[in-house]
Structure 1
Amino acid sequence: MRRFLQASPGRVGKTGISRHFGLGPDQRPALRALLKDLLAEGDAQPAGRRGVAAPGRLPEMAVIEVTGTDPDGDPIARPLGWKPERQGPMPVIFMAPERAGQPALAPGEKVLARLKPIGAGKYQGSTVKRIGGASPARILGVYEEGRITPTDRRHRSDWAVPPGEHGGAEPGEIVLAEPLPGRPLGLRPARIVERLGRMGEARSVSLICIHAHGIPELFPAEAVREAERARGVGAEGREDLRDIPLVTIDGEDARDFDDAVWAEPDGTGWRVIVAIADVAHYVTPGSALDREAWARGNSVYFPDRVVPMLPEALSNGWCSLKPGEPRGCLFAELRFDAGGAKTAHRFGRGIMRSAARLTYEQVQAARAAGEDPTGTLRPLYGAYAALQAARDRRGTLDLELPERRVRLDDQGRVLGVEPRARLASHRLIEEFMVAANVAAAEELERLRQPCLYRIHDRPADRKLEGLRQFLESFGIDLPASDRLHPRDFARVLDRVRGQPEERLVHETVLRAQSQAEYAPDNIGHFGLGLSRYAHFTSPIRRYADLLVHRALIRGLGLGGDGLAEAEAARLPDTGEHVTQTERRAAAAERDAVERYLAAFMSQHVGEVFEARISGVTRFGLFVTLEANGASGIVPIASLPDDRWTEDQARQARHGRMLSGQRTGLTFTLGQAVEARLVEATPRTGGLVFHLMQGVPPRRPAKGGARRG
């Protein structure tokens, strides 16, 4: 084992060790005991959350200094205090992109970083805390005569643009700038290096978010050429599914179609086929397309555009299951009994022809009218009812937090922001996808192939304690942590269904959960109540799914384009990478919706809205509007003149609370209020409200608002 750790280029997990030594599940306890002994004796050290590495390497947490950038523009760093004469050559640390809202790291900046080895003398680093030492490497903002106003609301000061350094930018343009040396009195100087478009134009919001979050937008020419050389697949070596009326069911505004479904009765149960675009046929290990797909990790969806993981020739072409056109696919054939329990599954590589492109709204309307225009919906709903019954028995965490939909006109102006309806047809597709994902994980385990699982840990004790205190203010309790099950959260949500505090409770329960991630070491999926789960159903837009496809192709002998051994060895690092890109995409998408909301709300400054207090702090309150979910701050200075304190004694009974010692006014988490919008800033997505104090509650006028 010691030799194996020394020879490994980076960290390894229990799955990699088991595969290398041919260990079975019954030997896992002995392996855990051995690793524990090695760690205690100093012959191994922790690396990452669940891995180990040979000793003599950098610790998991260290203070580092940024020294420059690599050829792709990403920061590289060195550890502080490293002594080459005693410790050997200086390690190189490749820093990950910063979190949403944080400026990029600049040369000279020092940070506390979490490190993981990725090769001999090489580490991947992620920022835990900035210590100081440098200005931001790039400034994203809006140029006005002689100055730049940052688009990040956390950056409060403008930057001065000296004469001759404006790069041809015109007032009102979104620009990228870099700091100039010197610390003159007044604003810090910066040079404009790139013009990105005009603030307020169509697509300007998503443009800001793409650059603010470091989303790769342009494809390398080689990757584009590979995609454009792609052609359709033939039937040779594939199962012919073209006579099966598979259908795609997606949203009205969907841009790609990579999954199709079909069902039929099977005795007293059901036979289901879930067919997924065969992306692995076109994106092969080590190709330019593969390198770029790995770097992006996933597609990113904005209200006005998509930044895809794959070039359009694939994402909207050969890998999109368009009706009436033959397409290569990987498919899962699943059989369930009448109660929704899976009795068998089979995977294969096929050629299919979608019978129809349906939308969730069409399917829902047809179901309500008792119609089945394609002849496929009745059996699909029959199989769905069985799967839903199995889900109910299993118990899952099902949070009702509707996605917000931004409606734009042809010029990119915001027409409205509204909750996207959550329909039974959405749940139907979700159940089929979950079933296929579970079967994929089970099949890879049967084949003893590496698997990049989708894992979801139990909530942390600290978060659970905070949630428990919050729920007690509504008279709701939770079991002890060691007995907690997803159905306990379902019970909480049932208690508040239809109540004024329903949305707040859903959001608070969501914040208490751990974040899902990708890893080759399986710990199960707590939220879904599943012991094994892997993403199989969206390889157009998620790199993790593409790896699951390749592992199935290798394990089942379905072609020469399966998972490569080098890829299997990198799965721990790939899992962390695609987890990070997924969170980056989610932050950028959320940021875009907030900015579009601010643009929409800027037309309603001065109006009063029904809202609920969604945050209580010492510096003010946060409120969320009932109509569209827009959130903003109520500065404490806008409250009546008083001495405002957090009432610790009453918080135990009523939840987090801000109390005025003189006026006797109190503001409690979840409290219904009327809030007047006083400021909306589309540039940053910021909203500022004032509460209507001393005024009896009045229902706002039609449209959810009234003039203050």
Structure 2
Amino acid sequence: MAKNRPPPEPLTRERVLEALRKSGGSGQKRDIARELGIGPDQKKELRQILRALEEDGALGRTGKKRYADANALPESGVMEIVDRDADGELLARMRGPDGLFGPLVRLAPGDARGTKNEAAVGIGDRVLARIAQTPDGPEARVVKRLGQSAHRILGVYRVAKDQRGRQLGGGRIEPADRKVRAALLVLSEHAGSARDGDLVMAELAHGNRAHAPKRGIVREVIGREDDPRAASILAMHTHGIREGFSDEEEREAHRAKPANLKGRIDLRKLPLITIDPEDARDHDDAVFAQPDDEPNNKGGWRVWVAIADVAHYVTPGSALDRGALRRGNSTYFPDRVAPMLPETLSADLCSLLEGEDRACLAVEMVFDQHGKKLRHNFARGLMRSAAKLSYDAAQAAIDGKPSDKTKPLLEPILKPLWAAYRCVWEARERRQPLEIDAPEHKIVFKNGRVAGVKQRQRFEAHKLIEEFMIQANVCAAETLEQKGRPLIYRVHDRPSDEKIAALTDFLPTVSMSWAKGQTITAARFNRILSLAEDSPHHAIVNEVVLRTQAQAIYAPDNIGHFGLHLRSYAHFTSPIRRYADLIVHRALIRALKLGDHGITAQEEKRLDEIAEHITQTERQSMAAERDAASRYIASFLSDRVGATFAGRVTGVTRFGLFIRLDETQADGLAPISSLGAERWIHDETAHALVGEQSGERFPLGMQVDVRLEEATPVSGGLLFAVLTDPLPPAPGWRKARQSRQTREGDRGARRRRRGH
């Protein structure tokens, strides 16, 4: 008689972290699974736990597939020296097979010094070290120096000059990374072809000494500081955003021919229109709506959403496909676009241009009078856009100010679209997705230079397109599920317990609360946001609620979309700029037998890998876009150093306050040294810096006036001095709270005694 197998031990965050520690602090998913001894039935659960740990910051990545414990340290290992602290002591991180991981660790005093036969270790060096726990925290004790890492540094090259402005030979590199404080010295023989003001990529030279200025070697000139595109160029190189296309990709794009009607339905008489930003260069989607004429659906609507049929042109395994997968998505900088596909396709053959016949994958959706979707149907078609409109123009027409172009479209096209949208919006309000107010801002250029920053207006027209796209995305996910086909979902997990705990701590500081023990839903967050709507805390509450959310990702396993409050969701509506959508198109083509270019069996086997990759490329693009915007705004503000600005505290740390300016939405740091002579305590629960003696405080969300002390365009860094007095002590404040984490520990005291 066979024995019953015991049920598998439940997976927990603690078990996963312990398994990672046993693997040396870093490892791939399969290494963790092997250490845990789990079977195939628990792999989905493991993936979800890893995802949650990464969202919380408990795990980091040292490569596309390798996880690392963000806090734990092995007893020994290879470390790379990456920086110095405020006292000048060297800081290092563990180095794994795919990169750096773990927290910053201070080198033991004296271990940085060299010997008679060997130079002292410095930034960029790799060492074998043992980790020792001390009262001041972990400390790395060097066992052996292993050599230097090929540490890449981006920056601006400055030629060395004497007091009369004569060149001396060689120069220095001002780093583009805000985390690297010191400039690199460059000997003349290491400058290559670099000229003053060049944007360069450099590596640390060998033989750097611990307490001497670091020397670098210029490896590549990537642009000019005075190029209007300098900020974007630096961001692209920093984050590995690909620019341009291979010859093979370009050849395939130029060989492409417009699609014909074969195997398609003719939608050219359907007056589909595109509604996009004024400066849009590609047009993925077109829409049309009309009342449903079915007698049993009185007051209902038929809505068509037609999407560019990119799958017709970008076929599996082609050079275009390989390049699109590598990029993962288009990247949108303030001044330019790094497209996923060559312009021949993205701005022409695939784009749904006005008056041009274009291949599309369309979905017809039928809604009842209350916005409930009754059914939908996909088809490959050939369409001809009746009009290309901007959001502004479409909204102006609906608001009673039509232009010569929109006036003839108002009755037959625009008004039915708005009526259908209001019907669908009724169902959205019942669904109660998360409604965070996060205004977007646009950098305005004039003659290639930044002229200002303005808030993007958000019209009802934006919401109309957004809601129709959401509905089409749901249809794509539901269809593939009904057909039993694998797909890449767009998933959004519920907030982690740790983030909810942080929100619960924060809300009392703005006289609000979060009831514990209740189910976490988007509607609960909306109630908090509604309470803050007319208060002075509106902006910071929206920001904190946004930070509480997990990041949406791509995954072949469906956990739903928390923010949209949807059971199944996939990206379908933007295949010109997102590879995820192209994969969903191919899956639909195969599932519904809509002709050639469907997803292959090989692609289906790799959906997990593809989803992970395009999640990473999306995050790289977002980081690059933020960096470029920061550099452009720092350049714009560099002429206003010394000026006073209004802003608010958006972050509180032990070393200072992060401030966001009202005028430009630029973020910068007010170091703790700018807050006055008092010693400041970082009260993490109250989200504030608190005066040790006075109890006065600078809390999260506080409105402040600041003086701009420094603006560094090459790095995007801004430094402020706070001019506003701190707030009075919080009710119930006692000096006993001095025990909380402080800006200055024992090493800070040593620094004061040395007279720094």
- The TM-score, its normalising length taken from structure 1, stands at 0.80
Match of 1:342 among 355, 358, 373: 373
The amino acid that maps onto 1:363 is A
CA contact (8 A) 1:468 1:478 kept: yes
Match of 1:143 among 154, 157, 160: 157
Gaps of 5+ in 1: 1-36, 53-62, 67-73, 80-107, 114-124, 697-708
Q: Measured at CA, do residues 126 and 465 of structure 1 come closer, stay the same or move farther in structure 2, by a change above 3 Å?
A: farther
CA contact (8 A) 1:141 1:176 kept: yes
Q: Residue 351 of structure 1: SS of its match in structure 2? A: strand
- Pairwise CA distance, 1:661: 3.8
Structure 1 residue 430 corresponds to structure 2 residue 466: yes
Structure 1 residue 227 corresponds to structure 2 residue 253: yes
2:573 alignment partner in structure 1: 537
1:569 alignment partner in structure 2: 605
CA contact (8 A) 1:39 1:46 kept: no
- Pairwise CA distance, 1:200: 3.0
Q: Measured at CA, do residues 482 and 452 of structure 1 come closer, stay the same or move farther in structure 2, by a change above 3 Å?
A: farther
Query: What CA distance in whole angstroms lies between the structure 2 residues aligned with 1:397 and 1:147?
Result: 49
Q: Residue 345 of structure 1: SS of its match in structure 2? A: strand
Q: Measured at CA, do residues 370 and 163 of structure 1 come closer, stay the same or move farther in structure 2, by a change above 3 Å?
A: closer
RMSD: 2.9
Write the deviation string for residues 400-452 of structure 1: whole angstroms up to 9, x where unpaired. Answer: 11111011112x21000122111111101000000000000000111111110
Q: Residue 142 of structure 1: SS of its match in structure 2? A: strand
- Pairwise CA distance, 1:347: 0.3
Quick one: percent identity of the two aligned structures? 47
Q: Measured at CA, do residues 594 and 42 of structure 1 come closer, stay the same or move farther in structure 2, by a change above 3 Å?
A: closer
1:129 alignment partner in structure 2: 102
- Pairwise CA distance, 1:479: 4.0
2:397 alignment partner in structure 1: 366
- Pairwise CA distance, 1:47: 5.8
What is the correspondence of 1:260-275 to structure 2 with a 5 Å cutoff?
A: 260-266=286-292, 267-275=298-306
Query: What CA distance in whole angstroms lies between the structure 2 residues aligned with 1:166 and 1:130?
Result: 34
CA contact (8 A) 2:696 2:726 kept: no
Match of 1:216 among 225, 228, 242: 242
Match of 1:599 among 635, 645, 656: 635
Q: Measured at CA, do residues 136 and 155 of structure 1 come closer, stay the same or move farther in structure 2, by a change above 3 Å?
A: farther
Query: What CA distance in whole angstroms lies between the structure 1 residues aligned with 2:707 and 2:67?
Result: 50
Query: What CA distance in whole angstroms lies between the structure 1 residues aligned with 2:604 and 2:60?
Result: 30
Q: Residue 164 of structure 1: SS of its match in structure 2? A: helix
Q: Measured at CA, do residues 627 and 564 of structure 1 come closer, stay the same or move farther in structure 2, by a change above 3 Å?
A: same
Match of 1:442 among 462, 478, 496: 478
The amino acid that maps onto 1:129 is G
The amino acid that maps onto 2:278 is E
Q: Residue 242 of structure 2: SS of its match in structure 1? A: coil
1:99 alignment partner in structure 2: none
Identify the range of structure 1 (496-505 vs 240-249) with the bigger mean alpha-carbon deviation: 496-505
Query: What CA distance in whole angstroms lies between the structure 1 residues aligned with 2:575 and 2:67?
Result: 36
- Pairwise CA distance, 1:664: 5.1
2:719 alignment partner in structure 1: 688
2:732 alignment partner in structure 1: none
Structure 1 residue 388 corresponds to structure 2 residue 422: no
The amino acid that maps onto 2:502 is G
Match of 1:154 among 179, 192, 211: 179
Query: What CA distance in whole angstroms lies between the structure 2 residues aligned with 1:151 and 1:423?
Result: 37
CA contact (8 A) 1:39 1:45 kept: no
Query: What CA distance in whole angstroms lies between the structure 1 residues aligned with 2:561 and 2:725?
Result: 48
CA contact (8 A) 2:704 2:724 kept: no
Structure 1 residue 610 corresponds to structure 2 residue 594: no
1:206 alignment partner in structure 2: 232
Match of 2:703 among 672, 678, 696: 672
1:470 alignment partner in structure 2: 506
1:397 alignment partner in structure 2: 434
Q: Measured at CA, do residues 163 and 236 of structure 1 come closer, stay the same or move farther in structure 2, by a change above 3 Å?
A: same
Query: What CA distance in whole angstroms lies between the structure 1 residues aligned with 2:466 and 2:681?
Result: 46
Write the deviation string for residues 548-578 of structure 1: whole angstroms up to 9, x where unpaired. Answer: 0000000111112100000000000100100
Q: Measured at CA, do residues 643 and 444 of structure 1 come closer, stay the same or move farther in structure 2, by a change above 3 Å?
A: same
Query: What CA distance in whole angstroms lies between the structure 2 residues aligned with 1:429 and 1:64?
Result: 36
- Pairwise CA distance, 1:167: 1.6
The amino acid that maps onto 2:713 is P
Q: Measured at CA, do residues 149 and 240 of structure 1 come closer, stay the same or move farther in structure 2, by a change above 3 Å?
A: same
CA contact (8 A) 2:93 2:102 kept: no
Q: Which has the larger radius of gyration?
A: 2
- Pairwise CA distance, 1:618: 2.0
1:122 alignment partner in structure 2: none
Structure 1 residue 242 corresponds to structure 2 residue 255: no
- Pairwise CA distance, 1:166: 1.2
Query: What CA distance in whole angstroms lies between the structure 1 residues aligned with 2:568 and 2:726?
Result: 54
What is the correspondence of 1:53-64 to structure 2 with a 5 Å cutoff?
A: none
Write the deviation string for residues 31-54 of structure 1: whole angstroms up to 9, x where unpaired. Answer: xxxxxx9998655697686459xx
Identify the range of structure 1 (524-533 vs 677-686) with the bigger mean alpha-carbon deviation: 677-686
Query: What CA distance in whole angstroms lies between the structure 1 residues aligned with 2:437 and 2:269?
Result: 38
The amino acid that maps onto 1:393 is R
Write the deviation string for residues 263-292 of structure 1: whole angstroms up to 9, x where unpaired. Answer: 001141110000000000000000000000
Aligned length: 600
CA contact (8 A) 1:331 1:348 kept: yes
Q: Measured at CA, do residues 75 and 262 of structure 1 come closer, stay the same or move farther in structure 2, by a change above 3 Å?
A: closer
CA contact (8 A) 1:161 1:189 kept: yes
The amino acid that maps onto 1:572 is D
The amino acid that maps onto 1:235 is L
Write the deviation string for residues 451-488 of structure 1: whole angstroms up to 9, x where unpaired. Answer: 10000000000001101111122232234466111011
Structure 1 residue 111 corresponds to structure 2 residue 125: no
2:444 alignment partner in structure 1: 407
Query: What CA distance in whole angstroms lies between the structure 2 residues aligned with 1:664 and 1:545?
Result: 54
Match of 1:506 among 534, 542, 546: 542
Match of 1:175 among 181, 197, 200: 200
Query: What CA distance in whole angstroms lies between the structure 2 residues aligned with 1:647 and 1:660?
Result: 10
Q: Residue 476 of structure 1: SS of its match in structure 2? A: coil
Match of 2:594 among 554, 558, 570: 558
List structure 1 runs of 4+ shifted beyond 6 angstroms. Answer: 37-41, 63-66, 74-79
CA contact (8 A) 2:706 2:724 kept: no
Write the deviation string for residues 161-196 of structure 1: whole angstroms up to 9, x where unpaired. Answer: 222221211111101112332224623332212112
Structure 1 residue 526 corresponds to structure 2 residue 551: no
Q: Measured at CA, do residues 486 and 157 of structure 1 come closer, stay the same or move farther in structure 2, by a change above 3 Å?
A: same
Query: What CA distance in whole angstroms lies between the structure 2 residues aligned with 1:47 and 1:482?
Result: 29
Match of 2:491 among 452, 455, 459: 455
Structure 1 residue 642 corresponds to structure 2 residue 642: no
Query: What CA distance in whole angstroms lies between the structure 2 residues aligned with 1:658 and 1:175?
Result: 39
Q: Residue 510 of structure 2: SS of its match in structure 1? A: coil
CA contact (8 A) 1:140 1:150 kept: yes
Query: What CA distance in whole angstroms lies between the structure 2 residues aligned with 1:49 and 1:201?
Result: 49
CA contact (8 A) 1:523 1:531 kept: yes
Query: What CA distance in whole angstroms lies between the structure 1 residues aligned with 2:225 and 2:274?
Result: 37
What is the correspondence of 1:40-59 to structure 2 with a 5 Å cutoff?
A: 50=46
- The TM-score, its normalising length taken from structure 2, stands at 0.75
Query: What CA distance in whole angstroms lies between the structure 2 residues aligned with 1:165 and 1:210?
Result: 24
CA contact (8 A) 1:612 1:672 kept: yes
